[in-house]
Amino acid sequence: MAMRGTRKKTADKPQYHHGDLRRALLDASLALISEEGFGALTLREVARRAGVTHAAPYRHFADKEALLVAVAQEGFRVMTARMKERMAGETSPEGRLVACGVAYVLFAMEHPAHFRVMFGPHFTQPPKMGPPGGDTDAFGLLVDSITQGQRAGVFHEGEPLMLALTCWSLVHGLGSLLVDRKLEFSGVTTVQQAEALALEQTRLLLRGLTRATSN
Amino acid sequence: MAMRGTRKKTADKPQYHHGDLRRALLDASLALISEEGFGALTLREVARRAGVTHAAPYRHFADKEALLVAVAQEGFRVMTARMKERMAGETSPEGRLVACGVAYVLFAMEHPAHFRVMFGPHFTQPPKMGPPGGDTDAFGLLVDSITQGQRAGVFHEGEPLMLALTCWSLVHGLGSLLVDRKLEFSGVTTVQQAEALALEQTRLLLRGLTRATSN
DNA sequence: ACTTGATGTAGGCGGTGGTTACATCTTGCG
DNA sequence: CGCAAGATGTAACCACCGCCTACATCAAGT
């Protein structure tokens, strides 16, 4: 009963069974969440989109939650990388902090499915992140940029954790509102508009963080 | 036969078999979301908790989404009322703005199920809110308090909509993080702690909003 | 070649869910 | 008192899901 070539419509390179099903499953999950929402994420539908049987994913993920955990971890890696990349171009503490926040919002806009999984309420156990300073420690980058600003004397004194939470709240709120399309009434839809808005908002908060200088 | 004593005492309307099934369904939905999460919200389980058959809810809600819409609208009413109540005690523009933000976060902590439904991503059509100034126009309260502060000369000039979006982002982010239990690592769990944190955060942002002179 | 392990297929089991059609009961009213 | 109308119960339909087992296929090493 050899039926070969059933799944591929075009005779692409005769890959292995699938080539990299694990990657394909992750991508299918992200596309599915982006297009149909979190509630539509189903192992069977993910397999369908990847062009395999509904049992195949179990060769790569123990169960549905394991798939979600993988998505979340990948999300934290990508987000942290984006932040580092964006902060690298800035030298001043203010610039680095703003870049950090803008990167967060940009990540939400460009990877909404990752964002939803990472911060959504559907985990029995929070996916463990790497050690402080690791490639998933996004929050550490934020705290560091604040303490550096304080050491440089440009930021107000105060508990760094609390200040970091404030910054996080701001960008997480903006990111969430954007991802969930609650700001469309205000005309903010494109990535560029979101970036501009993030820039304005983070600068406004920055004004409350910095010491006596006017402006 | 004894169906009279099973329900509430405040008989504002003649009560039928169940008394007020509509109310009971809403309450069951809220409890279910709070306890088991949004994904566990199922019409059948809601009916189960309300003590009726799984088809009974259709006498009160056209479908599952209609139930959610009702929850969301109620949420906006309650949130707006909470804001007004909390802002009433304040006279200064700064005080009113802070009260507005703190009320938002408190609402999220005290009504997490409402909050999730109101701002969650699972609506085919956003539930229509009442007219500006109505009992569901929470965002209007925010914008008003900002324009009043500008008129009084204590807030920085600038597009009120953009400033309002910034305030909204901050409190929405904090509310979301609290509701989704992402701040437990920092030890913030109780309502009082959340209120204190909201107060600090809004005041920090306020410092960026106010003009040079005042503290 | 032949074995072996990873990978994917075929099919099924037990269960849930939204929804509808129709029967039954309760209530308020004429 | 009896009945229409509304509120709830019963039963059923159909789709889908998560997970599991048995089996086929393929790539590669010896």
Query: Could you tell me which residue, B215 or B6, shows the higher pLDDT?
Result: B215
Other Cβ atoms less than 10 A from the Cβ of A89: the count is 9
| Distance in angstroms (rounded) separating the CA atoms of residues B124 and B110 | 26
> For a pLDDT cut of 90, what percent of chain A falls above it?
82
pLDDT at B12 over 60: no
Nearest CA in chain B to A183: B165
Positive or negative CA dihedral for A171, A175, A178, A180?
A: negative
| Range A173-181 average pLDDT | 97
What pLDDT is recorded for position A213? 55
pLDDT at A2 over 70: no
How distant is C1' of C11 from CA of A39, in Å? 27
What is the reported pTM? 0.92
Per-residue pLDDT band for B143 (boundaries 50, 70, 90) equals: very high
Average pLDDT, chain B: 90
Query: Could you tell me which residue, A142 or B213, shows the higher pLDDT?
Result: A142
| Range B8-35 average pLDDT | 75
| Distance in angstroms (rounded) separating the CA atoms of residues B4 and A201 | 56
Average pLDDT, chain A: 90
What pLDDT is recorded for position B48? 96
pLDDT at A19 over 90: no
Residue B38 contacts residue B120 (beta carbons within 8 Å): yes
What pLDDT is recorded for position A18? 67
Closest chain A C-alpha to B21 CA, distance in angstroms: 27
**Residues of B whose CB is below 8 A from A207:** 207-208
DSSP calls for B162-185: HHHHHHHHHHHHHHHHHHTT-SGG
Residue A170 contacts residue B170 (beta carbons within 8 Å): yes
pLDDT tens figures, B125-134 = 777 778 898 9
Q: Is B197 touching A (CB cutoff 8 A)?
A: yes
What pLDDT is recorded for position B177? 98
pLDDT tens figures, B190-208 = 999 999 999 999 999 999 9
